Structure 1
Amino acid sequence: MRGDDRFVLVGGGPAAYAAAQAYREAGGGGEVVLLSADTEPPYERPPLSKEFLRGEAGEDELPLAPPHFYRDHGIEVVLDDAVVGLDTAGHVVHTASGREFPYHHCLLATGAQPARPRIPGAVHPNVRTLRSAADGRALRKAAESARSAVIAGAGFIGCEAAISLSRMGVQVTLLCPDELPQQRRLGPTVGRKLLHWLKCEGVSVLTGTRLLGVDDGYRVRTEPVPLLDTDLVLLATGVAPRAELARQAGISTTEGRICADERMRTSAPGVLAAGDVALAYHAAARRPLPVEHWDDALTMGQIAGRTAAGAEATWTQPPGFRSLLGERSLKYVAWGDGFDHAELVQHEGEAFTVWYTRKEVVVGVLTHDADDDHERGTALVQAGLPLPAQQ
């Protein structure tokens, strides 16, 4: 089997999907093979903590593309077959089933896995995480018979899932290790708004509370609250990049991620990296940026696909995310390395904008029902400009 002009994609998430699509759109004419350990073709993950969990979105709304997309674009999809080895000298990918896939270009888009804290009971089968479609189905099934749930972690996955479960009639307790949700990333002003929204949705939030352990998968030990009995435990305690394959292959990694340049090229010839697993150089920020956002994975995948096809593309768009907390939407763009000042601008109704600055330069913007500010803020962040006097 020859790999003279084959593009092998390792991963079944948004980065791999976007890379395959961009490769074809940029004129890439070689074979394309997408290898995934998942049992399903690439699908939407954002709905898993929201409308899919609540049963408002069906199975048919999850796939990123219909089945004929892959056939029409000449993309071979190999599922339920994990990649276990990468020979960068011989340009060959090895899978668990024993298959070999020679390549001209290879994309490592292995993503990340839920990080379980090193505490007693964290790996108990009744202690759930939410990352895959299978996780979403299992959580939804468990919620059907649950009267109460404890969610550890007040990031956006935790907050979104807490609201969804509460709307399903489950009594939800959210463990927030800080004084306010998302306080470190977004500041206390936004943290207070998130806390108010959660309480409006019937979620009980225990701030300043750490998870110490889970006994038998249901009895939750925390600090300072001694013990919580519950029917359902969900860990929303972050993710860990899946960089083992790259490390074993001798590809340069740092901070647990694969090093890549602004075109998603790694230290190994012909090997690219994109998505959560990559620490890629950002051309506008002029430094490598770690990101764990859906839209950024799509962008990085598009750049990798164009690079493999021989077309020009560099990473210049500022990273950011979108979150839907019930009916309340948040849009956020920022470089992600801190701010000196956060200025809240309240608009009509509940709408607001928060401008984040460092040394008077806009380094981030967060909006709720203020799309014009989001668009303007994105441009200011990318250009490294100060906030105009008249907002």
Structure 2
Amino acid sequence: MTMTEDKKPGGPDLTRGVSLREFKDGKLLGHVGEEDVLLVHAAGDVFAIEPECSHWHGPLAEGLVVGDTIRCPWHHACFSLRTGEATRAPAINTLAVWEVTRDQDRIMVQRKRDMPKPSASHRTAPTPERFVIVGGGGAGFAAAEMLRREGFAGSITMLSSDGAMPTDRPNLSKDYLAGNAPEEYLPLRPEDYYGDASIDLRLNTNVSAIDPKTRSVTLGNGDKLPFDRLLLATGAEPVKLQIPGADQPHVHTLRSVADSRAIIKAAGSAKRVLVIGASFIGLEVAASLRARKLEVHVVAPEERPMQKVLGPEMGDFIRKVHEENGVSFHLKDTVEKIDGTRATLKSGAVIEADLVVVGIGVKPRLALAEHAGLAADRGVSVSEYLETSVAGIFAAGDIARWPDPHSRQTIRVEHWVVAERQGQTAARNMMGKRERFDAVPFFWSQHFDVVINYLGHADSYDHIEIDGSISKRDCMLRYIKAGRVLAVASINRDLDNLKAELEMERARG
């Protein structure tokens, strides 16, 4: 989506030619006919590419050029400047590129290049024919898509317990829940994609067992499905609230499209919402439901929202942002019971709420892996190639615990971008390529008009170095342990966040 009907293309007409002297920081935004085009001077060449990220339309002109690639400032997707291919999630779709001609010092763009066809020429070994993916979330989808993109011609069966096609899950607690994004934005690819790509996507399909010896999975209906390579991407499920009244129909969790739809439906007639938990998901739900003009109360045991991950200063700021937008907090408190619409807190306070959303964390779905005898340690243990303790069986996403070269620990994280990137790496390794997963973990969180980008992983830290002003929404926080920066969080410092990602990549190991 590079153009809208009421938006005219900006910058110079590139068919008439421009000079390198007109570039700023190696980039120039212009147009060819009615289409915006970004020129990039990099790697000793000039490239012409569509200027908006194919994920959520982030402005690539504000991104970071690394070699012959460009990274999106919003969610760290990466594109090849030569081919337009989305080489790193969360973007999946290729961007258009144009041919660039040079006449002395004039640079001209006139003709769009044809999209390249997938090639299997770089395979390193013969590939088995039957691949099975258990899970229909970000990791499973990204793996299936990458297998076809890399030229895998064998069968791909994708088994999803969900009733919805693979979905842009961050949208479920953000813009879709807030009423700012239509439902057609949710699917990662349209329904006909799976048929066209010969991906056998089976929704509402449960897997009851995996047998590593016979190389087969048993479905809920008893059918057996053989595999040569298997990817486990079963994801996580919301932690259930264990108090009296938590099983009432107006008490919701949020993980799936169906969950988000149910909350939106309930919000249509609700007046007051109780959000239990000041996690990222809980507070994003609070912000989204305030956008729907509901009264919102948040109850959580912490002293500050998100203090463990972001620290006290950022926690105080996030609370203030929410309070300025009408959210009421009841911190250092818990809900003891829900009797009808009446929620009683440990402190004795009572909140009347006709809609309750529980956001107290998620737990990885490990039962299949554990019953199959795969090595597990608070997650499915995988090598740097995302292979489990059984050869030919891989794991990715929320269930995978992998050796992270940046924190120098084995870690498991529940981030959307990480899940997709692991799916992509696992796919290439299922085809016989030995590619280490060493991407720096990244996620973003949205609170009204404040977006926090978080990079790296810090279970704990010695101190936080703050550059800029949190209150003025212009800051970079560095989480430091034993003299090393393990993670950074930023507000309105997108380019700095991208540069920090590159620094971490170069310093890994």
Bin the TM-score by the shorter chain.
over 0.9
How far is 1:97 from its partner? Answer: 2.5
Amino acid at match of 1:168: R
Number of aligned residues? 381
Q: State the 1:314 CA deviation.
A: 1.3
Q: Identify the match of residue 208 of structure 1 among 332, 335, 343.
A: 332
Given that 1:7 and 1:31 are in contact with CA atoms closer than 8 Å, whether structure 2 keeps it comes out as yes
The match for 2:458 is 336
In structure 1, C-alpha distance between the alignment counterparts of 2:406 and 2:321, rounded to whole Å: 34
Q: Please report how far the alpha carbon of residue 219 of structure 1 lies from its aligned counterpart in structure 2 after TM superposition.
A: 1.8
Asked whether the 8 Å contact 1:364–1:377 carries over to 2, the reply is no
Q: Give SS of 1:53's match.
A: helix
In structure 1, the residue matched to 2:343 is 220
Is residue 2:476 matched to residue 1:315?
A: no
For normalisation by structure 1, the TM-score amounts to 0.93
Does the CA contact (< 8 Å) of 2:407 and 2:458 recur in 1? Answer: no
What CA RMSD, in Å, does the superposition of the two structures yield over aligned residues? 1.8
2:397 partner SS:
coil
Residue from 291, 300, 304 that aligns with 2:413: 291
Structure 2 letter corresponding to 1:326: F
1:364 aligns with 2:487: yes
Partner of 1:128: 252
Instruction: Report the 3-state secondary structure (helix = DSSP H, G, I; strand = E; otherwise coil) of the residue aligned with 2:297.
Output: strand
**Among the aligned pairs, what percent are the same residue?**
35
Q: CA deviation at 1:267?
A: 1.2
- Unaligned runs of at least 5 residues, structure 2: 1-126
Q: Kindly indicate whether the alpha-carbon contact (under 8 Å) linking 1:209 and 1:225 is maintained by their aligned counterparts in 2.
A: no
Structure 1, 20-29 or 123-132: larger mean CA deviation:
20-29
Q: Residues 1-391 of structure 1: matches in 2 within 5 Å?
A: 5-216=129-340, 218-255=341-378, 257-346=379-468, 349-384=472-507
Q: Cα–Cα, structure 1 residues 335 and 304, in superposed 2: closer, same or farther, change >3 Å?
A: same
Q: Which has the larger radius of gyration?
A: 2
282-291 or 5-14, which deviates more: 282-291
SS at match of 2:142: helix
Distance 1:287 1:162, change over 3 A: same
Tell me how far apart the structure 1 counterparts of residues 440 and 330 of structure 2 sit (CA, whole Å).
33
Of the structure 1 ranges 281-290 and 142-151, higher mean CA displacement relative to structure 2 is found in 281-290
The farther-off stretch of 138-147 and 94-103 is: 94-103
Give the TM-score of the pair, scaled to structure 2.
0.72
**How much has 1:191 moved relative to structure 2?**
0.5
Deviations 1:61-85 (A, max 9, x none): 0000122322232211111111111
- SS at 1:267 equivalent: coil
**What is the distance in 1 between the residues matched to 2:191 and 2:157?**
15
Offset, 1:372: 2.1
Report the Cα distance in structure 1 between the residues aligned to 2:305 and 2:454, rounded to whole angstroms: 15
User: Runs of 5+ in structure 1 lacking a partner?
Assistant: 386-391
Aligned to 1:388: none
Q: Is the 8 A contact 1:264 1:272 kept in 2?
A: yes
Partners of 2:494 and 2:483 in 1: CA distance = 22
The alpha carbon displacement at 1:123 in A equals: 3.0
Code of the aligned partner of 1:201? N
Q: Given that residues 458 and 479 in structure 2 are in contact (C-alpha distance below 8 angstroms), is that contact kept between their aligned partners in structure 1?
A: no
- Three-state SS of the structure 1 residue aligned to 2:490 is strand
Q: Is the 8 Å Cα contact of residues 261 and 280 (structure 1) preserved in structure 2?
A: yes
1:389: which partner in 2?
A: none
Distance 1:347 1:183, change over 3 A: closer
Distance 2:432 2:501 in 1: 29
- 1:286 is displaced (CA, Å) by 3.8
Residue 245 of structure 1 and its aligned partner are, at CA, apart by 0.7
Q: Is the 8 A contact 1:107 1:271 kept in 2?
A: yes
Q: Quick check: 2:388–2:394 contact (8 Å CA) kept in 1?
A: yes
TM-aligned CA deviation for residue 237 of structure 1: 0.4
Q: 2: distance between equivalents of 1:225 and 1:202?
A: 23
Q: Which amino acid aligns with 1:368?
A: I
Aligned equivalents of 1:188, 1:54: Cα separation in 2: 27
Measured against aligned partners, the alpha-carbon deviations of 1:147-196 in whole angstroms (never above 9, x if no partner) come to 10110111111111101111211110011211111111111010111011
Maintained 8 Å contact 2:267/2:355? yes
